[in-house]
């Protein structure tokens, strides 16, 4: 009886039922869209952090670079030995550590032994500046036209000599090199890279003169597997080409840690320690412990790094989490209120119907159940429509894949923000690290479950108000409504 009556009444009031269902559907669709976009923002931010931080890295440990001593110079110098006669080809490499002051390699083991630390590896970031070209010696001539044979020649017969011709032509090539722990590559800068050609290092290649180069650097220098080049006089062989998981790589060349330490004259030293915690809930405690046990170091967590992300990604994320959330709540509340009012209004127009049913012996609970049942069906229909609209909107966002930019800046703390794959440490490198991320809007089962819950809630709220009003009707109301 209940089912037959329910079906008949919904069929008679198709327009009213559709209006209530559509109101709920729009609110639920907006909630799904905002939730999915927010999830896409979180994924985009994770990609940004992984590309700089390294997959699985919870925090990094660095040390601020000390200021140069009084009278000292922090500039770069190059020494050449220009030879007399003709032109002379010159080449000089300057290899410097970057990303802060170096740390002793023994600290990696000390940090790995801290309570709450699952693993820790060290990396050494270097900057290589290569200057090569040639000097061409000029010729000294007197004002009378007689050649003196060189800048140190005689004065000739009529006047003071003048140097003519000569000069220098040099190319400057600067690139970054990062020494990685080849035994533990799942943590650290190389973990954020995907090998697209060749292979990565084996655990036995701790001292091998081999290199994995970024795809962009390989294209620029036309390197391929088996190509060789020199770094400060040391010949290395390209064994692999890697592409970052997202964005652009700030590192041009990866070499084994021991090789990098030799190139940089930094034996048993690292610039960055990458740390993975045993539990995400213990990251804060581990940070405090490392800071207390190893004075002078700067410990930067992924949360610290996330707070420095700016650009359109940050703006869109703020809109999705604040404006979008409040807009969803407001629209959903309005949809629930409209559904409740329409249901209550529909009940007021059914005075004769409900009054007659009570006169025939229907108890109030049956009348209430009838109204709540109709509202629940409207809510479920609205939920189905809302899920369809919300999933469709999320799919459209994913299909369009709007591009968002993310810029990583310094936290402003001493020592920067830990070492990123760029080798300079985000304190130096991140300020110029801009990435472009494609936004997606994944819809999870949790979001679908939330939509179903909202549909049921909307139906219950509307049914509760309408049922309460219907239960208060008396058979006499039906008789008075008869004209």
pLDDT, tens only, 159-177: 566 766 666 677 778 889 9
Question: Does residue 380 sit in the same domain as residue 241?
Answer: no
**Domain assignment present for 161:** no
Question: Does residue 264 sit in the same domain as residue 384?
Answer: no
Structure confidence at residue 224 (pLDDT): 93
Question: Does residue 188 sit in the same domain as residue 321?
Answer: no
* pLDDT (average), residues 282-302: 87
**Domain assignment present for 306:** no
Question: Does residue 368 sit in the same domain as residue 460?
Answer: yes
Question: Does residue 316 sit in the same domain as residue 415?
Answer: yes
Q: pLDDT-derived band of residue 156, with 50, 70 and 90 as boundaries?
A: very low
> How many structural domains are present in the chain?
2
Give percent of the chain above pLDDT 90.
18
**Domain assignment present for 16:** yes
**Domain assignment present for 81:** no
Question: Does residue 96 sit in the same domain as residue 193?
Answer: yes
**Domain assignment present for 147:** no
Question: Does residue 10 sit in the same domain as residue 96?
Answer: no
Asked which of 17-21, 28-32, 280-284, 477-481 is least confident by mean pLDDT, the reply is 477-481
Q: pLDDT-derived band of residue 98, with 50, 70 and 90 as boundaries?
A: confident
Question: Does residue 275 sit in the same domain as residue 389?
Answer: no
Question: Does residue 221 sit in the same domain as residue 113?
Answer: yes
Question: Does residue 178 sit in the same domain as residue 246?
Answer: yes
**Domain assignment present for 113:** yes
**Domain assignment present for 216:** yes
* pLDDT (average), residues 250-269: 91
> Domain limits at 174?
88-133+166-295
> Which of 269, 295, 321 is the endpoint of a domain?
295
Q: Bigger pLDDT: 60 or 316? A: 60
Question: Does residue 439 sit in the same domain as residue 349?
Answer: yes
Question: Does residue 257 sit in the same domain as residue 404?
Answer: no
Q: Bigger pLDDT: 174 or 15? A: 174
> Which of 242, 260, 295 is the endpoint of a domain?
295
> Which of 295, 322, 350 is the endpoint of a domain?
295
**Domain assignment present for 328:** yes
pTM of the model: 0.57
CA distance linking residue 258 with residue 265, whole number of Å: 10
């Amino acid at each position: 009886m209940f089912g037959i009556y329910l079906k008949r009444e919904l069929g008679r009031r198709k327009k009213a039922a559709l209006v209530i269902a559509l109101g709920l559907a729009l609110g639920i669709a907006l909630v799904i869209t905002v939730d999915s976009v927010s999830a896409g923002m979180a994924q985009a931010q994770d990609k940004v952090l992984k590309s700089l931080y390294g997959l699985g890295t919870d925090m990094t440990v660095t040390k601020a670079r000390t200021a140069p001593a009084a009278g000292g110079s922090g500039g770069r110098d190059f020494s050449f030995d220009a030879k007399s006669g003709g032109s002379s080809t010159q080449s000089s490499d300057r290899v410097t550590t970057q990303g802060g002051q170096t740390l002793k390699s023994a600290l990696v083991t000390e940090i790995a032994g801290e309570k709450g630390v699952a693993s820790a590896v060290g990396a050494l970031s270097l900057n290589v500046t290569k200057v090569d070209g040639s000097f061409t010696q000029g010729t000294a001539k007197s004002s009378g036209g007689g050649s003196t044979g060189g800048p140190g020649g005689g004065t000739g017969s009529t006047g003071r000599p003048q140097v003519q011709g000569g000069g220098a032509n040099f190319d400057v090539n600067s690139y970054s090199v990062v020494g990685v722990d080849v035994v533990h590559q799942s943590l650290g800068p190389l973990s954020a890279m995907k090998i697209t050609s060749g292979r990565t290092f084996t655990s036995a290649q701790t001292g091998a003169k081999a290199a994995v180069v970024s795809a962009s650097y390989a294209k620029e220098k036309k390197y391929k597997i088996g190509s060789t080049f020199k770094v400060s006089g040391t010949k290395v062989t390209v064994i692999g080409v890697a592409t970052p998981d997202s964005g652009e790589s700030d590192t041009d060349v990866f070499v084994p840690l021991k090789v990098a330490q030799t190139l940089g004259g930094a034996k048993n030293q690292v610039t960055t320690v990458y740390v993975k915690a045993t539990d995400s809930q213990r990251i804060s405690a581990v940070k405090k412990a490392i800071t207390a046990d190893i004075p002078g170091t700067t410990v930067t967590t992924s949360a610290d790094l996330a707070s420095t992300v700016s650009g359109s990604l940050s703006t869109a994320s703020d809109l999705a989490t604040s404006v979008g959330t409040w807009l969803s709540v407001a629209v959903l509340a309005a949809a629930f209120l409209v559904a409740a009012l329409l249901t209550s209004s529909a009940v007021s127009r059914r005075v004769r119907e409900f009054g007659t049913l009570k006169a025939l012996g229907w108890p109030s609970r049956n009348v209430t159940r009838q109204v709540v049942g109709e509202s629940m069906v409207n809510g479920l229909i609205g939920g189905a429509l809302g899920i369809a609209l919300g999933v469709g909107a999320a799919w459209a966002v994913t299909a369009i894949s709007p591009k968002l930019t993310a810029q990583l800046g310094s936290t402003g703390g001493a020592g920067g923000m830990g070492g990123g794959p760029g080798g300079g440490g985000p304190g130096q490198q991140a300020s110029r690290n801009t990435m472009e991320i494609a936004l997606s809007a994944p819809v999870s089962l949790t979001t679908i479950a939330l939509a179903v819950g909202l549909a049921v809630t909307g139906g219950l709220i509307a049914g509760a108000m309408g049922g309460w009003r219907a239960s208060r009707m008396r058979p006499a109301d039906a008789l008075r409504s008869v004209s």
